[in-house]
Amino acid sequence: MTYKQRIDGRKFDEMRPIEAKVGVIPRADGSAMFKIGNTWAYAAVYGPRNLHPKFMQDPQTGILRCSYNMMPFSSSGERVRPGGSRRSKEISLVTQKALLPVLNLEDYPNSVVDVFIELPQTEAGSRCAGICAASMALADAGLDMKDLVSAVSFGKVDDKLVVDLDYSEESYPDGGVADIPIAMLPNSGKISLLQMDGEVTKEELMKLIGMSKKVLMDIYEVQKKALKDKYKGVED
């Protein structure tokens, strides 16, 4: 049996609808919302600020801390248990690693930049949505950045290569599924995150990376527009 048509009617290389906005949390130093399909991510940035306790400080550079959290009734699948979990810790770590290449934290010695990502509703692609929101929130906070970070999931459902899997595809019962989140620095084309849950061949992986680059550039344009829209009145 082959996967002839996507369950929601999209083309195999088509994303779900996306929306983005910055400055959504007034008391944060920077904040953003990123929505893809029915997955919503909110990110708030606080800092740079002095890091305590002092023994954790680094006189050579600042540090980045990321916290990823799905709200208890946010998932399309089973209810998420409140509080930290191995999954949330793992995604917090990979989010930090995905964002670090664009930041010049050497300008903030002995300091910390905290990024909090909350997801009130999810339907697959939550870590990628969180990375997109966090990247915009860091820019909104005015940190010195080399680039934004854009992220999306892609993979394989049965025998078809697809971009931006939704929950029905991640849990597809009639064939094998591979889910591959990717994060990219759009201006340089460098990849800062690449994970894989499932199996694809080397040839399929290279084709999927090629498919994802156009989609990631489309996401980048939405991120840029959201940042520009906040300051449009100031420029005018």
Domain that holds residue 87: 18-216
Does 221 reside within a domain? no
Does 2 reside within a domain? no
Whether the Cβ atoms of residue 154 and residue 161 lie closer than 8 Å to each other: yes
Q: What are residue 155's DSSP bridge partners?
A: 162, 179
Residue 160 has pLDDT above 80, yes or no: yes
Convert the pLDDT of each residue in 171-181 to its tens digit: 887 778 899 99
Convert the pLDDT of each residue in 170-217 to its tens digit: 888 777 889 999 999 999 999 999 999 888 899 999 998 888 889 999
Which positions ≥6 away from 48 have C-beta within 8 Å? Answer: 62, 108, 111, 112, 113, 143
Does 8 reside within a domain? no
How far the first Cα of the chain sits from its last, in Å, is 57
Give pTM, 2 decimals: 0.91
CA angle 225, 190, 103 (to 5 degrees): 65
Does 33 reside within a domain? yes
Task: Provide the number of structural domains found in the chain.
Answer: 1
Token pair, residue 139, equals 């820019």
Does 10 reside within a domain? no
Does 12 reside within a domain? no
Convert the pLDDT of each residue in 57-110 to its tens digit: 888 899 999 999 987 676 655 656 666 678 889 999 999 999 999 999 998 999
Does 95 reside within a domain? yes
User: Residue 111 belongs to a domain with what CATH number?
Assistant: 3.30.230.70
